[in-house]
Amino acid sequence: MTYILDLPLQRTPKGELITYRFISCLALCLILSGCAVRPFVLDQTAQALSGQGMSNEDDLQLAREASAFYLKFSESVLIQTPGHLKLAESVSAGFTQYAYAFVAFDAEKMDAKSPPIAADMRLRAGRMYARAHRHAMRALELSQPGFAVALRQADAKQQPRLTPAQVPLAYWAAASLGGWVSMSKDDPEVVADLPLSMRLAELAWQVEPAYGQGALASLMGTLESAKVGGSRSKALAYYDQAIAFGKGQEAGPFVAKAEGVALPAEDRKQFEQLLRQAIDISQQHRSLQNEVMRERAQWLLSSVDDLF
Ordered by start, the domain boundaries in the chain are: 17-28+60-208, 217-300
What local confidence, expressed as pLDDT, does residue 71 receive? Answer: 86
Beta bridge partners of 17: 11
pTM value surpassing 0.75: yes
DSSP string, the chain: ---------EE-TT--EE-HHHHHHHHHHHHTTTSTTHHHHHHHHHHHHHT--------HHHHHHHHHHHHHHHHHHHHHSTT-HHHHHHHHHHHHHHIIIIIIHHHHHHTTT-HHHHHHHHHHHHHHHHHHHHHHHHHHHHHSTTHHHHHT-SSGGGS----GGGHHHHHHHHHHHHHHHHT-TT-HHHHTTHHHHHHHHHHHHHH-TTGGGGHHHHHHHHHHHHSTT--HHHHHHHHHHHHHHHTT--SHHHHHHIIIIITTTT-HHHHHHHHHHHHHHHHHS--HHHHHHHHHHHHHHHTHHHH-
Can you tell me the distance from the alpha carbon of 19 to that of 52, in angstroms, rounded to the nearest whole number?
13
Query: What's the burial of 239, exposed, middle or buried (CB within 10 Å: 0-12/13-18/19+)?
Result: buried
Residues in the chain: 308
What local confidence, expressed as pLDDT, does residue 287 receive? Answer: 87
Beta bridge partners of 80: none
Can you tell me the distance from the alpha carbon of 58 to that of 289, in angstroms, rounded to the nearest whole number?
8
CB 198 within 8 A of CB 174: yes
What local confidence, expressed as pLDDT, does residue 233 receive? Answer: 93
What local confidence, expressed as pLDDT, does residue 58 receive? Answer: 63
What local confidence, expressed as pLDDT, does residue 6 receive? Answer: 31
CB 191 within 8 A of CB 181: yes
- Tens-level pLDDT at each residue, the chain (308 residues): 433 333 233 333 333 333 444 444 544 454 444 444 455 444 555 555 565 533 445 677 777 777 788 888 888 888 888 888 888 998 999 899 999 999 999 999 999 899 999 999 999 999 999 999 999 999 999 999 999 999 999 898 999 999 999 999 999 999 999 999 999 988 999 999 999 999 999 999 999 999 999 999 999 999 999 888 888 999 999 999 999 999 999 999 999 999 999 999 999 999 999 999 999 999 999 888 899 999 999 999 999 999 99
Q: Looking at the domain that runs over 17-28+60-208, which CATH code has it been given?
A: 1.25.40.920
